[in-house]
Amino acid sequence: MARPLNVAATPRLLLVNGPNLNLLGIRDPAVYGTATLADVEKIAVDAAAEAGFEVRSIQSNHEGVLIDAIHAAREDCAGIVINPGGLTHTSVALRDALTGVALPFAEIHISDVNAREEFRRFSYLHDVAAVRVIGEGVAGYASAVHALTSLLDRPS
Ligand code: CA2
């Protein structure tokens, strides 16, 4: 039977976690808390579901893998939530990927990068992110999803 023409697919967000975020909950609880990467992904999925969005998650320790995932998001995602990890402070290539796909994105940092080492204060994404969430712990992922989805067209 033919599919009805007016069935819209659930809009999707890409959740990107960069290098070393697979260590969440395993090392450095004083800085990053005790939640794991799986916990963080669930926080984002639940927040997105409240707004009528689904989430595709990727974590990688490899810059090119992250860039490929961002490029692929152009095909089927409405926006991106990204914690770029240490690439925040170093990567023009990640910035170029995000501006290249021209999807609105939220930059999120678990820790307060402005209250740590000087080199963490600069972000290559700061002026191109639609949303920035800094220092709210892992709950910041929900804040980032809520703020980003509120900027996007709501599913009818
Ligand atoms: O606060 C954040 O979310 C950061 O993006 C985390 C990055 C750091 O380089 C940024 O300056 C701020 C580091 C991610 C590494 O995460 C770990 C988690 C647990 C144990 C060790 C590293």
All domains of the chain in start order, with CATH:
12-153 (3.40.50.9100)
pLDDT value, residue 28: 87
DSSP β-bridge partners for residue 133? 108
pLDDT value, residue 131: 98
DSSP β-bridge partners for residue 59? 17
Do the beta carbons of residue 11 and residue 54 sit within 8 Å?
yes
pLDDT value, residue 81: 98
CA of 22 to the centre of ligand 1 (A): 10
Which helix H or strand E contains 92, and what residues bound it? Answer: helix 92-101
Helical segments of 52-139, H only: 63-76, 92-101
Close Cβ partners of 17 (under 8 Å, ≥ 6 residues apart): 37, 40, 57, 58, 59, 82, 83, 85
> What pTM was estimated for this model as a whole?
0.94
Residue 89 designated active-site: no
Which helix H or strand E contains 51, and what residues bound it? Answer: none
Residue carrying the six token digits 């994105």: 105
Q: Which two tokens stand for residue 124?
A: 């290559």
Which of ligand 1's atoms lies nearest the C-alpha of 116? 11
pLDDT value, residue 3: 57
Q: Please give the chain's pLDDT, 156 residues, in tens.
A: 565 655 678 999 999 999 999 999 998 888 998 999 999 999 999 999 999 999 999 999 999 999 999 999 999 999 999 999 999 999 999 999 999 999 999 999 999 999 999 999 999 999 999 999 999 999 999 999 999 999 997 655
Q: Which two tokens stand for residue 62?
A: 């490899």
pLDDT value, residue 27: 85
Centroid of chain to Cα 114: 19
pLDDT digits (tens, 9 = 90+) for 117-144: 999 999 999 999 999 999 999 999 999 9
Which helix H or strand E contains 55, and what residues bound it? Answer: strand 54-59
Ligand 1 site: residues with CB under 6 angstroms? 20-21, 23-24, 27-28, 32, 83, 85-86, 88, 109-111, 113, 120
Distance CA 124, CA 128 (A): 8
CA of 153 to the centre of ligand 1 (A): 31
CA of 35 to the centre of ligand 1 (A): 13
DSSP β-bridge partners for residue 81? 15, 106
Which of ligand 1's atoms lies nearest the C-alpha of 86? 9
pLDDT value, residue 4: 60
